[in-house]
Amino acid sequence: MKQAKVIKSTSSGSVCLNDTVIQIAAWNLPFGGVGDSGIGSYHGKATFETFSHRKSIVKRFFFLEHLFTTQRYPPYGNKIQLIKQIILR
């Protein structure tokens, strides 16, 4: 599998598969770079484990695609419009 090869053969603080930078929003995953490119890991327990190296991997599964993309990417569904109206009252 190409994804596994890339994950195993690269040095990075996190990997995001089938999406873009969503791993930042996952507060329970360590986030940060490796070596000179990063400042270490932070978020929750990861602040304690800064001196070890872990690689976060986020993989979006497409069978749930419709549930998430209708509210994350334009055109937004009616639920977003309703939320905007409630917030802007």
Residue 19's domain comprises: 1-51
In a domain, 58, yes or no: no
- Asked if residue 63 is part of any domain, the answer here is no
Residue 23 within any structural domain of the chain: yes
In a domain, 67, yes or no: no
What confidence tens digit (pLDDT) does each residue in 72-83 have? 666 666 777 777
- Provide the number of structural domains found in the chain: 1
Query: pTM above 0.75?
Result: no
pLDDT band at residue 87 under the 50/70/90 scheme: confident
Q: Which helix (H) or strand (E) holds 14?
A: strand 14-17
- 72 located within any domain: no
- Mean pLDDT, the chain, whole residue set: 74
Give me the count of residues in the chain: 89
DSSP 21-80: SGGGT-TTS-B--SGGG----BSGGGGTTTTS---EEEE--GGGHHHHHHHHSSSP-HHH
Q: What is the pLDDT of residues 28-69, one digit of tens each?
A: 777 777 766 666 556 666 666 666 666 788 887 666 666 666
